[in-house]
Structure 1
Amino acid sequence: MSEIHLSAADGPLRAIPPLSALLAFERAASQLSFRRAARDLALSPSAISHQIRGLEELFGVKLFVRGARSVRLTAEGERYLANVSPALAALQDAGREMLRHRRDAGGELWISSLPFFTSTVLIPALGDFRRRNPTLTLRIEATHQYADFNASRVDVAVRYGREHSAGLKFEPLIEVKGLPVCAPALVKGGLRRPEDLSREVLIHLTTQPRTWPTWLEQAGIPDLTPRGHLWLDSVPAMLEAAEQGLGVTLAMAPLIRARPGFGKKLVAPFDAAAVSTMETIYLVSRTEQARDRRIAALRRWIVDAVSRASR
């Protein structure tokens, strides 16, 4: 009796791993970092590692050499990346073309924007956008997550800090720095100098745990111990908590001055000129859309909105 042994190589479908595993491998191989691959795909580093282990078990080879703080491709990994990358690029191009056709047909533009930037800069300028572009529909997603330009419908993103990504164009919109803000009642209670923060509750953003420690270090008081800590998951929530007198938070200056009620419900208790470290907010778009007239119109509107909000 004859026998048939079927391996992955014998069946074309069995030789194709799940798309999630291929994306995890391609991102990790291109970035040489499981952490950055996880950020790009909105997954955890352990999930990336699990996907890649599945590929290695399927093919019976090691794709990466894992070090204590870094990874590098094996010869098999380099060969597989050379074959996988063009295939994924073709799939991405096909998906982008479908999404672009749908957007063009419906006249839609999608923005992924930081929540604070959305509420302080974009929303007050929406009337101006409608006047300038009456045939376009604007869709805004307010989120701290990095936009996935490969798999989503996002046309442009507004992000704090620059992260390297191939195929994306980063245009600086404005430089900002942390400014302590609080309710006027705390100032009346004696909050006049950075050292007085030891009597207050510091309000933190959960996704940026180093913001306050970095600010205190730059202010020359790295060992300051506050009365307490309050952790919240969005900048608008932090600002509202500060307005309610629950503590002191760090806001983005000069944009915070455009927030309704600044100077009344929310004030800067002292001059923070000594803290001069600036960060940049960027407008991010695909390099391939540099000449897209709709993107150009969106860019001009956002730049003008930033200019008005930062006066």
Structure 2
Amino acid sequence: MDAPDPRAIPPLPALLAFERAATQFSFRRAARDLSLSPSAISHQIRGLEQQFGTKLFVRGARSVRLTAAGERYLAKVSVALATLQEASRDMLRRRGEASGELWISSLPFFTSAVLLPALPEFKRRHPQLTLRIEATHQYADFNGSRVDVAVRYGREHAAGLKVEPLVRVSGQPVCTPALVKAGLQRPEDLSREVLIHVTTQPRAWPAWLQQAGLPQLAPRGHLWLDSVPAMLEAAEHGLGVAIAIAPLIKARPGFGKRLVAPFAFEAEPSETIYLISRTEQARDRRIAAVRRWIADAVARAS
């Protein structure tokens, strides 16, 4: 077989820009997906059109569409990129299997409240496996990163992912026992308190107040922080009332002493936390081991 002519193969960034623009019908949305500027996408597309001597897109005011030549090219480029992606993913999986490493991307609070306390048990069960845990709210990129398992709210719609519900959760106010002794007894008493929020979850307190029948309640003040652990620490320092994740908050060290739930009212579960993995790894023994470990840890934390 003749060696491929590198001069006939466009640069990979140009092919990715073309594929994204063609499937999104927009240079702007393609730029967002690839973390580039729209002008960079346009530059890559012009380079392809100059190389082939033909137009690939018909440009509109707010969208683009493929020419006949562009449609023919997209059909083959999509197959080629999918093949490259699967080959790369296979290499990453094989490297992880050979090294005994498994990468978990987990919500920060879930990591601290559920996974970390259960780590000794995992090491006892599976001493040959090494876990690498990333605590983040960011999207878990199963295509472009080494992540094997993710723990997230909501439901992932991407094809090729296995989505399994772990636990239904709801908001639950928590504060120091001192605030309860000072008179925080009923949800209406929150009008005298500072509500502590997480910037990534701006609807948490409004949703809880709505369920409690107090949508118009005006607290004494608001405190906004950038993570759930920071919010809970602020509550432990007596800076106000935080909205925690029930029932998992019960697993936090010091719950019942440094932090308590001041109200008998319990909101209905409004979110589900899911375990997400690749469909093709359903029979991977490492994934199965982590799945069982996380399910057991959730049961203990709940």
Whether TM exceeds 0.5 here: the answer is yes
Structure 1: gaps (5+ residues)? 1-10
C-alpha distance in 2 between matches for 1:279 and 1:123: 22
C-alpha distance in 1 between matches for 2:230 and 2:111: 13
Structure 1 residues 224 and 128: CA distance shift in structure 2, 3 A? same
1:225 counterpart = 2:214 = no
1:16 counterpart = 2:17 = no
Partner residue in 1 for 2:292: 300
Partner residue in 2 for 1:280: 272
1:107 counterpart = 2:100 = yes
Partner residue in 2 for 1:176: 169
Stretch moving more, 216-225 or 247-256: 216-225
Letter in 2 for 1:175: R
Q: How does 1:265-276 map to 2 (within 5 A)?
A: 265-273=258-266, 275-276=267-268
C-alpha distance in 2 between matches for 1:286 and 1:296: 12
C-alpha distance in 1 between matches for 2:26 and 2:153: 21
Residue number among 183, 188, 198 corresponding to 1:205 in the alignment = 198
Deviation, structure 1 residue 101:
2.2
Structure 1 residues 56 and 23: CA distance shift in structure 2, 3 A? closer
1:134 counterpart = 2:127 = yes
C-alpha distance in 2 between matches for 1:33 and 1:296: 40
Partner residue in 2 for 1:196: 189
Is this contact kept in 2: 1:17–1:55, CA < 8 A?
no
With structure 1 as the length reference, what TM-score do the two structures score?
0.82
Partner residue in 1 for 2:241: 248
Letter in 2 for 1:294: R
Partner residue in 2 for 1:160: 153
C-alpha distance in 2 between matches for 1:30 and 1:190: 58
Is this contact kept in 1: 2:56–2:67, CA < 8 A?
no
Alpha-carbon RMSD across the aligned residues, in angstroms, is 3.0
Letter in 1 for 2:106: S
Indicate the SS of the match to 1:147. coil
Residue number among 257, 262, 278 corresponding to 1:264 in the alignment = 257
Partner residue in 1 for 2:52: none
Deviation, structure 1 residue 34:
9.0
Letter in 2 for 1:82: A
Structure 1 residues 61 and 93: CA distance shift in structure 2, 3 A? closer
Q: Deviations over 1:233-277 (max 9, x none)?
A: 21111111111111111111001011111111111111232x314
C-alpha distance in 2 between matches for 1:194 and 1:34: 49
Structure 1 residues 30 and 244: CA distance shift in structure 2, 3 A? farther
Is this contact kept in 2: 1:180–1:248, CA < 8 A?
yes
Deviation, structure 1 residue 117:
0.7
Deviation, structure 1 residue 18:
5.0
Aligned residues: 291
C-alpha distance in 2 between matches for 1:93 and 1:188: 59
Deviation, structure 1 residue 157:
0.6
1:53 counterpart = 2:45 = no
Stretch moving more, 221-230 or 259-268: 221-230
Letter in 2 for 1:137: T
Indicate the SS of the match to 1:178. strand
With structure 2 as the length reference, what TM-score do the two structures score?
0.84
The percent identity for this pair of structures is 70
Q: Deviations over 1:154-206 (max 9, x none)?
A: 11011111131111111001100111111122222222222222222221111
Deviation, structure 1 residue 128:
1.1
Letter in 1 for 2:167: I
Partner residue in 2 for 1:187: 180
Deviation, structure 1 residue 87:
1.9
Deviation, structure 1 residue 75:
5.3
C-alpha distance in 1 between matches for 2:71 and 2:215: 45
Deviation, structure 1 residue 294:
1.1
C-alpha distance in 1 between matches for 2:252 and 2:26: 39
